[in-house]
Structure 1
């Protein structure tokens, strides 16, 4: 193995360690109270090294969100390939999002706020790291091909509208709470959204 590939593997392992430690600290002590210095110290790296891998603390959460979306993408594709009905797959993905969001409730607001960040570069980075709309798109595509979806909106636009609505509903529930569980909130919201995209 040459020295450059060895260095790359060492960098990947270091980034993975920093990420794992950071997420554990966020879950234990809360995102807001955990500092970059805390993460660096627990990861056995310097504060400068932390910022070499993550330019700001919220960037760690983008890796977390990206991991969740990748898992959902693989799950959805596998279910569709196995012949499961798209609406069933969409409902399952929706409930998995609710489950993850409920379990990691303290991580969600700072992650969602990155998508809404007033710094356009950070907002763009967050949006690209969390392509939930792409997951929705692969689920809805068979329905579009079967003529079940309205024809006056593109598949991409419908998918992004559904994904963006998830973001806002989950953010509101996480920040303010309601008498209903997030599962219930998202289940009723999905029904409302699908009424808007199905062909009449």
Structure 2
């Protein structure tokens, strides 16, 4: 039992080392130019060992994005528990995500590609690792219960549409850039989106 526990801890430690080295190489040298061999060599493991932990290079980015999503969910749950208005919570979470994404502009395209990967298995894995729509759904749920959201679309559909829009806007900003920061672009986008999900007062 103890030896198994030790073995599991060693595996987790090795995975963490590979992950940290990979992210550092991506940031310093670029994602596209960094190879699995580069990561393995810098991590002091074999190329085969790297693939034991990450079946493809992009899987490292899914861990990276998953950590961001976990922080956003924690933030959303805390703010809602404290009684903050859901729309303010969504704006804060949205801006925090934009700030994190904007700091690592070159990592957005490969992450976005995974979500839209032609391989259904890889796309599903990316969707599960990057549950932005579920975080958004968590925030919108109290608004739906209060009758503040339109009723012709499901909560899941609205959450997916908002999350998908984030992805497209971030990808476009990363590829082409604008005079505005990603956070500014996203503030404008969220304002536009929320006008589409809120119940409109009768004329």
Same fold (TM over 0.5): yes
Find the aligned partners of 1:181 and 1:107 in 2 and give their Cα distance.
16
Tell me which residue corresponds to 1:55: 55
Tell me which residue corresponds to 1:80: 80
Tell me which residue corresponds to 1:171: 171
Question: Are positions 1:33 and 2:63 aligned together?
Answer: no
* Structure 1 residue 184 displacement after superposition: 1.6
SS in 2 for 1:33: coil
Tell me which residue corresponds to 1:144: 144
Find the aligned partners of 2:60 and 2:76 in 1 and give their Cα distance.
25
TM-score, length basis structure 1: 0.98
Tell me which residue corresponds to 1:187: 187
Tell me which residue corresponds to 1:153: 153
* Structure 1 residue 151 displacement after superposition: 0.9
- Structure 1 runs of 4+ aligned residues shifted over 2 Å read none
SS in 2 for 1:106: helix
Question: Are positions 1:103 and 2:103 aligned together?
Answer: yes
TM-score, length basis structure 2: 0.96
Find the aligned partners of 2:123 and 2:87 in 1 and give their Cα distance.
30
* Structure 1 residue 98 displacement after superposition: 1.0
Find the aligned partners of 1:122 and 1:138 in 2 and give their Cα distance.
25
Find the aligned partners of 1:180 and 1:190 in 2 and give their Cα distance.
15
Tell me which residue corresponds to 1:92: 92
- Map 1:118-133 to 2 at 5 A: 118-133=118-133
**Unpaired stretches in structure 2, ≥5 consecutive residues:** none
* Structure 1 residue 183 displacement after superposition: 1.4
**After superposition, what is the alpha-carbon deviation per residue over 1:99-146, rounded to whole angstroms, capped at 9, x for unaligned?**
111101111110111011111111111111100001001110111111
* Structure 1 residue 5 displacement after superposition: 1.7
Find the aligned partners of 2:163 and 2:116 in 1 and give their Cα distance.
14
Find the aligned partners of 1:62 and 1:132 in 2 and give their Cα distance.
13
Deviation larger for 47-56 or 175-184: 175-184
Find the aligned partners of 1:40 and 1:123 in 2 and give their Cα distance.
25
Find the aligned partners of 1:104 and 1:187 in 2 and give their Cα distance.
19
- Map 1:66-77 to 2 at 5 A: 66-77=66-77
When the two chains are superposed, the root-mean-square deviation of aligned CA atoms in Å is 0.9
* Structure 1 residue 49 displacement after superposition: 0.2
Find the aligned partners of 2:151 and 2:197 in 1 and give their Cα distance.
9
Tell me which residue corresponds to 1:135: 135
